Structure 1
């Protein structure tokens, strides 16, 4: 059953808009609704329609910074959202969302002043998640 749910989640990631403003928070909200809300819920509180069927309950994504003493860890969240961080994120139910790592690339500064190209969709989703933190982050780390 779990693998069927993951497959259902992955099936929704095939088509993404190639909007020039793809890294905006509005684009992130749309991508979240398409790729994440089935498990995490439309308000990102971990109560999506598929949540009850998962072995590991989805996290309340509005409390990420709160769980980290007010810190918003941008790179850590990017790593979790892209789904490839299985050795540090051992949740079988968290799918690899290929659509978030494909498509347009944008310049991203990880905090050291050096920019590199990263997927715009991934940045958009993570910036959207930052925008819905409750309470707001009080500090930031790359």
Structure 2
């Protein structure tokens, strides 16, 4: 019983610490995405002209989806680990694979996966705020 209680408190401590460290979608976007998609998400980042395919303008995703933000599609594109190979090559980095090694090293393999998913949720949520 004492072990179970300690595990619950350890989980609560992780959640509080993880939320403070991971809970900023804007900072994550500026660090990981703005270099290609631009600070306002218009596809005009400093590296945009260097890429073979111009990055997507992220400000019109809701408009292109009948006025509804395609949250889970955005999440899946950012994560990228579950893309069907038959759909072709990705131009964008697979952020799920990019984030996971560091998160797993810092938090352990199971908690690292949770933190990686949370980072991607934070990014998708921030992209939602960029809609015009």
TM-score range, shorter chain: 0.5 to 0.7
- Give yes or no for the alignment of 1:34 onto 2:43: no
Higher Cα Rg, which structure: 2
Residue in 2 aligned with 1:20? 19
Residue in 2 aligned with 1:105? 114
Q: Which runs of 5+ in 1 are unaligned?
A: 1-17, 107-117, 135-142
**Aligned-residue CA RMSD (Å):** 2.6
Question: Higher helix fraction: Structure 1 or Structure 2?
Answer: 2
TM value normalised by structure 2:
0.67
CA offset digits 1:88-134 (Å, max 9, x no partner): 7645421112217943627xxxxxxxxxxx71101000001111211
Q: Is the 8 A contact 2:35 2:46 kept in 1?
A: yes
2: CA distance between counterparts of 1:64 and 1:22? 28
TM value normalised by structure 1:
0.62
Q: 2:53 aligns with which of 48, 52, 56?
A: 56
The 3-state SS of whatever aligns with 2:69 is strand
CA offset digits 1:28-70 (Å, max 9, x no partner): 1000111111110111110011110111110111111111111
Q: Which runs of 4+ in 1 moved over 6 A?
A: none
The 3-state SS of whatever aligns with 2:62 is helix
Pairs aligned (count): 104
RCO higher in structure (CA 8 A, sep ≥6):
1
